[in-house]
Structure 1
Amino acid sequence: MGIKSFQGARRQQNTTDDTSLTVSDYMTRDLITFTPDQTIESVMQALINNRISGGPVVNEESELIGIISESDCIKQISESRYYNMPMQDMTIEKYITKDVDTIDGNMNIFDAASLFAKSPRRRFPIVENSKLVGQISQKDVLKAAMKLKGQTWK
């Protein structure tokens, strides 16, 4: 006589096909962007007013050329004070981070979460056909997780 296993009635679980959970489903498309010729003061004011910690820098063709962050602005403030140089006319061009990691909008949201876990980055821009089309942030991934709460993650 073999061992028998009995499992009672199971609650039907919502299941989701992971392939449909892409970065483009959760990324922000309406971005606050900056241009390299903007003054550091205008960028700092935009960061404060919009309660963001940074944003993409694009050229006139909407091509991504870098990222500007609060940390980049802090460096500018520090140098300005050290060298006793007023900031009001200084542009962000030399302070932007130009080595920017981007990700594919078709990437699975869980793979994006894994990238965030391995990276100090707080946001990844999404580029299609050389144009900036969106950005996924750590907060966007958290929102996706909350939306999926209670579903089976495989």
Structure 2
Amino acid sequence: MNVVTRWLVAKDVMTRDVITVHPDTPLREVASLLVSRHISGAPVVDQEGRLVGIVTEADLLTREAQPAPEARRGLLSFLWRDPRLRGGRVVRAREVMTREVVTGTEQTPVRELARIMATRKINRIPIVRDGRVVGIVTRNDVLKVFARADAELVAEVRRVLAEELGIDLSRVAVEADSGTVRVRGEVDRASDVELVHRYVAMVDGVVAVDTAGLSYRVEDLRLHPVSGEERERGTKT
């Protein structure tokens, strides 16, 4: 069988009503927006909606003066003290924004977004289509995926077993406890056990997989070991 697995991707979790600013938006207006909307950053888009940068709390701060941990209130008070804003000159978003923005597409897997956030030490990733912002994924959005309730995990694992691997659900039982998924019962082939373990481990939110209680009817691995490609895409029968 040919298997095309559908895991959670950016479009499943992203915020679609994205708060953006223009390159010419005054810095104080940007700061007020971040504070009032309880966000720590916003994409910067041009008049055609194309992404040209991103401005964050960190971009608004100087190395000499960091705000106190308490607060976004501190961010506003800091900005009023910022020498860049004195003397009547209006500082624009374009002057402080980050121009090299890490982005994703609507089809970027959530796991890949999580990896990027961890390695690049960023809190949000704009999602673009043809250069235009169509959504944004934050660390909180990703954490919600990996904190899925056990009942939701069981339902998703059962779907994967039935729809992706063709497993007869009447012959297996699926349980989840704090992200650890146990699959018990019987499948047709020894290779099915390997595929079940691999596919269940790929479900977003699963932290461990136990297939020790999963038996099989036919030993096929000695005759035809499961190749790396088959483990990734499923077996062809």
- TM-score, normalised to structure 1, is 0.78
Tell me the amino acid that sits aligned with residue 101 of structure 2: V
Query: Per the alignment, do residues 52 and 74 of structure 1 end up closer, same or farther by CA in structure 2, a change over 3 Å counting?
Result: same
Question: Is 2:86 the counterpart of 1:85?
Answer: yes
The equivalent position to 2:58 in structure 1, one of 64, 67, 71, is: 71
Q: Distance in 2 between matches of 1:90 and 1:41?
A: 8
Query: Per the alignment, do residues 84 and 140 of structure 1 end up closer, same or farther by CA in structure 2, a change over 3 Å counting?
Result: closer
Q: Which residue of 2 aligns with 1:26?
A: 13
Which consecutive unaligned segments of at least 5 residues does structure 2 have? 63-77, 154-199, 203-237
Tell me the amino acid that sits aligned with residue 146 of structure 1: A
8 Å contact from structure 2 (residues 28, 79) kept in 1: no
Q: CA deviation at 1:87?
A: 6.5
Q: Distance in 2 between matches of 1:67 and 1:84?
A: 20
Question: Is 2:49 the counterpart of 1:62?
Answer: yes
Residue identity over aligned pairs, in percent, reads 28
Q: Which residue of 1 aligns with 2:103?
A: 102
Q: Distance in 1 between matches of 2:122 and 2:102?
A: 9
Tell me the amino acid that sits aligned with residue 62 of structure 1: G
Deviates more, 1:32-41 or 1:142-151: 142-151
Q: Deviations over 1:16-40 (max 9, x none)?
A: x962311110011111100011111
Higher strand share: 2
Higher helix share: 2
Q: Deviations over 1:113-141 (max 9, x none)?
A: 12222111111111101211111111110
For the pair shown, the structure with the greater C-alpha radius of gyration is 2
Q: Distance in 2 between matches of 1:84 and 1:28?
A: 32
Which consecutive unaligned segments of at least 5 residues does structure 1 have? 1-16
Q: Deviations over 1:66-124 (max 9, x none)?
A: 0001111113949942x683467221211110011111220211122122221111111
8 Å contact from structure 1 (residues 32, 55) kept in 2: yes
Tell me the amino acid that sits aligned with residue 148 of structure 2: K
8 Å contact from structure 2 (residues 79, 85) kept in 1: no
8 Å contact from structure 1 (residues 40, 87) kept in 2: no
Question: Is 2:90 the counterpart of 1:112?
Answer: no
The equivalent position to 1:44 in structure 2, one of 31, 38, 43, is: 31
Q: Distance in 2 between matches of 1:84 and 1:92?
A: 12
Query: Per the alignment, do residues 87 and 39 of structure 1 end up closer, same or farther by CA in structure 2, a change over 3 Å counting?
Result: farther
Q: Which residue of 2 aligns with 1:141?
A: 142
Q: Distance in 1 between matches of 2:149 and 2:94?
A: 40
Q: Distance in 2 between matches of 1:25 and 1:19?
A: 11
Give me the CA root mean square deviation.
Answer: 2.5
